[in-house]
Structure 1
């Protein structure tokens, strides 16, 4: 993937920029008439935001504050990016007025895509490896393209860890993408992430049920819960036996029998109503499930194969959906009739229960007055309470047992993954050796005075959840400048390494403000190294922002190879306080 142009339609929002092979400077120049005026907030990073926006970055304020603040300025314009892959020229057009709809295609063949569909399409187009043996999903597009776009969205953003390049993504998931970008099999890392994600969902569910049992029933463990269940079963059985053997006085036997019959009738009608209500719920649920087939999305997919074929598929699918809708409507009318009848039956039974309960109440009042029913009614009440408690305990315990069993199975699977990962890393000796050589070559080109003092390794690390530890070491690597240097070396190394196994991946890197904390000698070395790669026939675009002050100064080393004048001359975009990106100020621009 090679960048060609970035501009607006209609023209005039900002100057059209053509990307070149080699170094692409976005240069901040001081005003010669007012040298004390700041060259911050003139639009260097915002220009890079526009590139990121065309590559389908989020437009939320929390993710892209500068472009979000400039919405009024951007409104009415398409931001257009042209790039090529395998000599095919592609165009993306995106507007802040409708961020979910993006125009994309080749020259003369532009179509409108839903952004989520286009992300997958670009993922396949830019990052697919035909012979790759690991895991790849086109939906990873933004997670992969972010590696090539190190744009400081906030002032506090820094170049810290080149491996964990997305701050909101954990290391276990990041490893999947890192191994993919390095051309190494990521199957076990993907399994590790998938299984650990599952385990992370099980643990809080188990804790929640354990907390419920402890707080409501004062049962601190599963063993205590099982003991309580057995105790309840014993007490219920004992009470039911007592009720079965309970006899009223002979003179009240007829009244007792009548009361028992009424009680049984009430229970039967309650059960029938319960069953009918369940049927009603099931019927109502069955015809409220929404249809979710998108004819347009399917048409867009087949359009890539053939417009005529897509139209045929769309028509056939539409006819099938219409037929299904008719069936659904007929079924709905039938179910509504059934539901109405069931509700009417429930209503009638409730009336009957009410009348029967009044009769039974009279009999109970009579028996209560004779002091013959007291023990029986208390027994029924206690049994009901205990059965309710038992039912809830058994239900929660079953869920807890099932979750615990599933957790044990997942943990056992993790053990297998750990062992397989150990064996896999051992098998990578030759690949790691080749990667180490390339990494060291890049490092030596940039850190000329500290040659062969860097380290690159891929190791198995059981103590970390990610299991595979990609490690980069450099002298004084925790100092600000050197830690930035780790990102500088590693990113160029990954870019060059990808040339070995694919031609699809991006051939560009964006480093926003990375040289602010790097020794000027290393800046010159990077410039010369990129030029050396270009002269050797490689296509590589290194895009970076740089200020006339700060990175460049009167103490710019002894070299005259990279002067401010030369940088200004070679820059793809020169901005200044008098020549800002959008020729105007707006809040939060950096």
Structure 2
């Protein structure tokens, strides 16, 4: 894939014609003597050119383009596998592009580029490996992407970073994806386990119960006991009728006993009345009045005698009457006692029946209780089995990760020559900058319980300084480009890459890209500030300085200045905060 041309429908735009080999977009200042040199290069459009390339290669919507460049259409022409492609994208309608005269969605467009540029089959896509994530490795876009060699996109996860870099280095990304999926399955198991543990029913009965096994055993015993009761339970269809009859008999027996008590009370009263003897004797009456000094005539005595006889006769009749009443109550008592015995026998039969059978309501209540216990037992058992399953699957996943670790380790051993080639490629470029500094790009197993299968480390000793860090960025990018695990033939850097390099490093970089692009198979494109050539004057002789000055001049494809609005990339001055 080679870039050929970037243009716009607005005549004020400075069309960029890319060529084979070296390509420089140079930013110049109107006042060369300005002390604050860095600021004078801002705003002319060097970095914007990179943003526009990304825009035409299917980046996400850029809102500031829609807001500030309404109606602008940018067109990128590129060559891919010997075929010419022309793609246009409208700032006001960014969901689609016009590819070789046909309207297609941005999604279908980037899918096509993924297949053509990075040789992905339609049905063989890998998550996090996209055209956008991969092409960003060859066109560093944002300020943050110039801070570390393996940082290309904002908010890119460590896993996404690894799988994209590994793919371009030629590593087996399936090994990387497998560990990620295993770790995700462990995380998902942990997540589901926590959800189960938060289940309100489970939480009420089982969570935090350290004796869950004992709880299950107790529930099993209760269920078994109730099952036996249910099994032995005999339901009588007329249970309620018999129970009502038994209740009536019990009531009648109580009433009879009350009647017997009344009869016994009456008999006792009669017996008490009979025992009282209120006879009156005439002699006692005369004796009593004699003591009172009263004398009765014979005539009066005769009358008293008659009254006494009459009274005693009445008492005799009363006694006979009470005796008869007593006999009546005793007979009634005997009849009531006989009735109690008969009803008691009948009641005993009914109670015996009721003792051997039960009502349907009682059976249902018993069965309901049994079902409740069964459900609780099932829930407890399911919970235990579920937790055990989670633990077993998590343990198995950990075992699989260990097995996969061995497989990955074996893979690295079997591909030792490939790793040495990667190391040698990186060292070739780093040694061109620092002959006496240790450097390298090694790939090792990451055996942590995480999603990262390999640790890819590019290092130049002493790269804690910004300059060396930027050298590491260049060396890593050139390594990805040179290994050719893709169909990308260009590398596009912003002038940010050179901002902290010292003149010797800038000179070394010029030497490398000059040499690498001589055969025309690689395009190296970079925006630079005009001071890049002037700063290397102090580290070269005049002949060498003139050589590299000429090299830059001959390969400058566009010059932008802050002299006027027309001299800027868009042909106007406009604030486009796309890089925030």
Superposition TM-score tier, normalisation by shorter sequence? 0.5 to 0.7
User: Does the aligned pair in 2 maintain the 1:455–1:474 contact within 8 Å?
Assistant: yes
Cα deviation code 1:18-66 (max 9, x no counterpart): 122333333332233994674323332222111011111112xxxxxxx
**Distance in 1 (alpha carbons) for counterparts of 2:499 and 2:517:** 24
- The 2-side partners of 1:56 and 1:589 are apart by 15
Tell me: CA distance 1:111–1:470, structure 2 relative to 1, closer, same or farther (3 Å). same
State the match for 2:92 in structure 1: 97
Name the structure 2 match of 1:574: 559
Identify the residue that residue 280 of structure 2 maps to in structure 1.
Answer: none
Match of 2:218 among 231, 239, 252: 231
User: Any residues of structure 2 matched to 1:40-51 within 5 Å, and which?
Assistant: 40-51=42-53
For 1:333-348, what aligned pairs fall within 5 Å after superposition? none
Task: Tell me which residue corresponds to 2:296.
Answer: none
Q: Quick one: structure 1 residues 207 and 480, their matched pair in 2 at CA, closer, same or farther if it must change by over 3 Å?
A: farther
**Residue 5 of structure 1, CA deviation:** 0.7
Residue aligning to 1:484 = 470
Contact 1:524/1:562, CA 8 A, preserved across alignment: no
Between the aligned partners of 1:255 and 1:553, the Cα distance in structure 2 is 119
Tell me which residue corresponds to 1:507: 490
Q: Which residue of 2 aligns with 1:520?
A: 503
Take 1:196 and 1:251, find their aligned partners in 2: how far apart are those partners?
A: 66
For residues 140 and 368 of structure 2, the distance between their equivalents in structure 1, rounded to whole angstroms, comes to: 70
The alignment's C-alpha RMSD in Å is 3.9
- Do the aligned residues in 2 keep the contact of 1:26 with 1:573 (CA within 8 Å)? yes
Return the alpha-carbon distance in structure 1 between the equivalents of residues 221 and 13 of structure 2.
82
Task: After superposition, give the CA deviation of every residue in 1:213-243 in whole Å (9 maximum; x if it has no partner).
Answer: 774335237x744443343343344345556
Q: After superposition, give the CA deviation of every residue in 1:336-378 in whole Å (9 maximum; x if it has no partner).
A: xxxxxxxxxxxxxxxxxxxxxxxxxxxxxxxxxxxx9999898
In structure 1, the gaps of 5 or more residues are 60-66, 258-371
1:459 aligns with 2:444: yes
Alpha carbons of structure 1 residues 88 and 209: separation in structure 2 relative to 1, 3 Å:
same
* Alpha-carbon contact 1:54-1:80 (below 8 Å) kept: yes
Alignment partner of 1:80: what SS? strand
Deviation per residue, 1:129-188 (Å, 9 max, x gap): 89xxx9978963222112112111xx5x25344245445344344333323212343332
Residues 1:236 and 1:552: Cα distance change in structure 2 (over 3 Å): farther
Q: How far apart, in 1, do the equivalents of 2:510 and 2:537 lie?
A: 14
- CA separation in 2, counterparts of 1:70 and 1:494? 31
Q: Could you tell me which residue of structure 2 aligns to residue 176 of structure 1?
A: 163
- Separation in 2 of the partners of 1:74 and 1:505? 30
Shift of 1:197: 2.9
Find out whether 1:496 has 2:482 as its counterpart: yes
Report if the CA contact (8 A) 1:25-1:570 is conserved.
yes
Match of 1:362 in 2: none
Tell me how many residue pairs correspond in the alignment. 452
Matched, 1:147 2:134: no
Output the CA distance in 2 between the equivalents of 1:253 and 1:451.
106
Distance 1:407 1:88 in 2: 50
Q: How does 1:31-180 map to 2 (within 5 A)?
A: 31-32=30-31, 35=34, 38-59=40-61, 67-105=62-100, 110-128=101-119, 140-152=130-142, 157-163=144-150, 165-180=152-167
DSSP-derived class of the 1:586 partner: coil
1:220 aligns with 2:215: no
Q: Which residue of 2 aligns with 1:7?
A: 7
Matches of residues 406-555 of structure 1 in structure 2 within 5 Å?
406-447=393-434, 450-451=435-436, 453-463=438-448, 465=450, 466-498=452-484, 504-511=487-494, 513-535=496-518, 537-548=519-530
Evaluate the alpha carbon distance shift between residue 386 and residue 454 of structure 1 in structure 2; reply closer, same or farther with a 3 A threshold. Answer: same
Q: 1:539, CA displacement in angstroms?
A: 2.3
Normalising by structure 2, what TM-score? 0.67
